[in-house]
Amino acid sequence: MFGSVLIANRGEIACRIARTAKRMGMRTIAVYSAADVRALHVRSCDEAYLLGPAEPRESYLSIGRIIEAAKLAHAECVHPGYGFLAENAEFAEACAQAGLVFVGPSPQAIRAMGLKDRAKSLMEQAGVPIVPGYHGERQEPKFLKEKAYEIGYPVLIKPAAGGGGRGLRRVDRHAEFDAAFESAVRECAAAFGSSRVLIEKCIASPRHVEFQVFADSRGNAIHLGERDCSLQRRHQKVIEEAPAPGMSAELRAQMGAAAVAAAKAVAYAGAGTVEFIADGSKGLRPDGFWFIEMNTRLQVEHPVTEAVTGLDLVEWQFRVAAGEKLPLAQGQIRFDGHAIEARVYAEDPANDFLPSTGTIVALRLPPDIRVDSGVDAGGEVTPYYDAMIAKLIAHAATREATLDRLTDALDRTLIVGPRSNVALLAALCRREDFRRGQIDTEFIDRSLVLLGAVGQGPDRAAAAFGVERLLAASSFDEAPDDDNVEPSSPWAARDGFQLGPARTIDLPIVIDGEGAEAKVTYGKAGPNVLIDGTPPVPDAEAFAAGDEVFVLRHGRQTRVRIADFAEASTTADGSDGIVKAPMHGKVLELFVHVGDSVAGGQRLTVIEAMKMEHTLSAPFAGVVRQIAVAAGAQVMEGAAIMVIDPAGKR
């Protein structure tokens, strides 16, 4: 077995690999970017090496810098985790050339399955059913648009060289193809280094069912059962479970055999995932599933398989990479109970799931279930990497009991600073149709209103609670300039107390970055706060951070501060014509120039954050009066991007 491992990744997967490696007696070596100097994965390893700047291409995607770090650390093997270079054949080859064991499949297997179009051709030759579509070499936009029309809308534009939802676009109408194609190829190039795509038919009521496979270098290959990953948002998995609801033993054997055949077709060795799409409109059945891709790496959702099998898949990866045979044969695999994983992301469900960045002011994760996390209180969620904060994994004898455990754990999870999807996850776990297994990949999008993800304005009751706390905190925080007055004197108080009748002031405040006003009445009992007539609520928690306070109520976060009286109020809906960055990120492209006339809803710019693209559109028809940024610029949340004058004004 290896004596040392360099973990070529970050976040929760780097921490998770380090745990197993240390248990197996290995020296653990971390790598990090300038943005991750104080990251948890750096502190979790025995030693760490700086790769370079925050940009992934100059750090976690730099093969040369990682190999150099491995040589300096005298590492024996390299574990890539998932994402970044995990499915990069050139990286696997570079490791071998440097005398390092790559903990993963061969470069040949990565290439065979890494390009999704070629993988589908291989599966078609092996008799595995594949989704109808175009998987060929031609990439001219006009040609692919014609193919999409022939296949019939809706279609999916999918990356040929990657997965995880990056670069994937659904197109419902022919007129939308060009813009979706441009965005898809740009995101594919940024995420995977390749802009090649394929076109596939969208399956009705799709269920996403994947099989965990394992193979060794001696020709042995088995599967460890399936996972249902149908609960998705923007093609990103949100909740995964094992076993899949409605899966029969007979169908598991059939799909599992197809998954193992896929692995054997490329002489696979290591952990892999064979993914199928199933037509869920009539339930899972033998004639209703199709191969979509094989991921030649460990998956984010591997903990649910570990929970139901009792196995450590990372340990298996190390053993296979060291040349050992698989620890168990197919007939020795046993399944126990049910497991469900919820992915906690730094994003704002009430604001179209935009990424949320910033310092984690407070963090409380449940101690009585498995939690895989790569952050802690005081850490930073940056715009450079994936938005995941943690994974919560519940395991129990039945699916109902597992959902109950997970719901309770989510209710006890507290994240302050960046916004999160915790409340949405808890609401999902309470949905009766999900509990009955009536799900598909469009389930969340259909249920946004019921899940509380849209139609929510500022929580004025929570904001009033926050203003009340800010006023209380500032009551005795500094004394007047008079040296003869003690700080503890009532004359030093700033709580508005006066000897006359009650007095009301209009206090300018900022709620979630937008200007507002609170009415504060000072009386003998102290200040009374109202925002739009709404008083504070008692069922909230407040966390101070500098000059602002974060208020948590029912899993929803409201950020409040007292504004300077000279500070201008801004509107949240763009009616002032100022187009603002909704999150920290990088301006990828500007579609307009100063002086251009624009229509309401017209694309203005694209901002990239956490490896996802977000398009900003004109709030109304008008003329572009000012552009404050250039393509390639990094922008902060709330920064002005451009100003639109209403139509008719110049």
Instruction: Provide the 3-class DSSP secondary structure of residue 488.
Output: coil
Q: Where in the chain is the domain with CATH 3.40.50.20?
A: 4-103
- In this prediction, residue 153 has a pLDDT band, given cuts at 50, 70 and 90, of very high
Which residue did the predictor score with more confidence, 3 or 646?
A: 3
Instruction: Provide the 3-class DSSP secondary structure of residue 91.
Output: helix
- In this prediction, residue 124 has a pLDDT band, given cuts at 50, 70 and 90, of confident
Q: What is the pLDDT of residue 165?
A: 75
- In this prediction, residue 480 has a pLDDT band, given cuts at 50, 70 and 90, of very low
Mean pLDDT of 23-48: 97
- In this prediction, residue 475 has a pLDDT band, given cuts at 50, 70 and 90, of low
642 strand-pairing partners: 579, 627
- In this prediction, residue 525 has a pLDDT band, given cuts at 50, 70 and 90, of confident
133 strand-pairing partners: 200
pLDDT tens-place string over residues 352-361: 888 899 999 9
Task: At 550, give phi and psi (nearest 5°).
Answer: -105, 125
- In this prediction, residue 491 has a pLDDT band, given cuts at 50, 70 and 90, of very low
Mean pLDDT of 496-518: 78
Supply the CATH classification number for the domain 132-201. Answer: 3.30.1490.20
Nearest by Cα to 353 from 234, 524, 268, 263: 234
Share of the chain above pLDDT 90, in %: 66
CA distances from 403 to 344, 398, 429, 486 (A): 16, 9, 6, 57
What fold, for 578-646?
Answer: OB fold (Dihydrolipoamide Acetyltransferase, E2P) (2.40.50)
Q: What is the pLDDT of residue 102?
A: 98
Q: Between helices 11-23 and 313-321, what is the axis angle to 10°?
A: 70
Residue 130 has pLDDT above 60, yes or no: yes
Q: What is the DSSP string of 166-218?
A: TT-EEE-SGGGHHHHHHHHHHHHHHHHS---EEEEEPPSSEEEEEEEEEE-TT
Q: What is the DSSP letter of 534?
A: B
Query: Which residue is listed with tokens 């504004």?
Result: 563
Active-site residues, by number, are 297
Round the average pLDDT of the chain to a whole number and report it: 89
Neighbours of 125 (CB within 10 A): 9
Beta strands in 471-602 (DSSP E): 503-511, 514-523, 526-530, 541-545, 548-553, 556-562, 578-580, 585-590, 597-598
Residue type, 198: L
- The answer to whether domain 460-479+488-562 has CATH 3.90.850.10 is no
Q: What is the pLDDT of residue 49?
A: 98
**Rounded distance, CA 258 to CA 127, Å?**
9
- In this prediction, residue 575 has a pLDDT band, given cuts at 50, 70 and 90, of low
Residue 14 has pLDDT above 50, yes or no: yes
The model scores a pTM over 0.95: no
Q: What share of the chain is helix, strand, coil (3-state, %, to 5)?
A: 30, 30, 40
Q: Where in the chain is the domain with CATH 3.30.1490.20?
A: 132-201
What fold, for 206-446?
Answer: D-amino Acid Aminotransferase; Chain A, domain 1 (3.30.470)
**Rounded distance, CA 153 to CA 131, Å?**
14
Mean pLDDT of 505-522: 90
The answer to whether residues 297 and 82 touch, using CB atoms and an 8 Å cutoff, is: yes
**Rounded distance, CA 124 to CA 122, Å?**
5
Q: Between helices 107-114 and 89-97, what is the axis angle to 10°?
A: 170
Residue 451 has pLDDT above 90, yes or no: no
Q: Give first-to-last CA distance, the chain, whole Å.
A: 72
pLDDT tens-place string over residues 239-259: 999 999 999 999 999 999 999
Residue 587 has pLDDT above 80, yes or no: yes
**Rounded distance, CA 211 to CA 223, Å?**
7
**Rounded distance, CA 146 to CA 165, Å?**
24
Task: At 390, give phi and psi (nearest 5°).
Answer: -165, 165
Nearest by Cα to 466 from 398, 402, 385, 520: 520
Which residue did the predictor score with more confidence, 113 or 401?
A: 401
Tokens of 361: 């002011």
Q: Where in the chain is the domain with CATH 3.30.700.40?
A: 460-479+488-562
Q: Which stretch of 199-208, 495-504, 520-529 has the lowest confidence by average pLDDT?
A: 495-504
- In this prediction, residue 498 has a pLDDT band, given cuts at 50, 70 and 90, of low
**Rounded distance, CA 531 to CA 613, Å?**
35
Q: Where in the chain is the domain with CATH 2.40.50.100?
A: 578-646
Instruction: Provide the 3-class DSSP secondary structure of residue 370.
Output: strand
Give the chain's count of helices (H) and strands (E). Answer: 16, 37
Q: What is the pLDDT of residue 611?
A: 65
Which residue did the predictor score with more confidence, 293 or 474?
A: 293
- The set of residues, in sequence order, having a beta carbon less than 8 Å from that of 642 and lying 6+ positions away, is 578, 579, 592, 604, 605, 624, 625, 626, 627, 628, 629
Mean pLDDT of 305-312: 98
What fold, for 4-103?
Answer: Rossmann fold (3.40.50)
The answer to whether residues 165 and 229 touch, using CB atoms and an 8 Å cutoff, is: no
